[in-house]
Amino acid sequence: MKRTIIGGLLFSSGALICLVILILAALHVPSITAWRGSKLWFAIFGTNEPMGNNEVNSLFLGFPFIVGIVLFILGFIVLVVEYFKKD
């Protein structure tokens, strides 16, 4: 039971972090004037390269987004292991 709660907390916290960052990026996309690739992923990860005369207008939330994905996957693995575990 303890591992199930831990897995659920990891799963839900990872999902919450990723969803909040995706919502923030979606709200920030209309204000981006210059980008490379997808506007949404540019808003999250950004770039260190200069974009001509335009300033880089990104949230630079790549590291927290990756941490959220890792927490989500770890929580999912813990929940799956606990679901199929035979006692």
Residue 14 pLDDT exceeds 90: yes
Quote the pLDDT of residue 28.
94
CA distances (Å), 57 to each of 22, 36, 63, 69, 79, in order? 16, 11, 17, 23, 38
Q: What is the pLDDT of residues 24-74, one digit of tens each?
A: 999 999 998 888 889 999 999 988 877 777 777 889 999 999 999 999 999
pTM, two decimal places? 0.88
Quote the pLDDT of residue 37.
87
Quote the pLDDT of residue 40.
94
> Domain residue spans in the chain?
2-49+58-82
Contact assessment for residue 20 and residue 87, using Cβ atoms and an 8 Å cutoff: no
Chain Cα centroid distance, residue 87: 35
HEC letters along 26-78: HHHHHHCCCCCCCHHHHHHHCCCCCECCECCCCCCCHHHHHHHHHHHHHHHHH
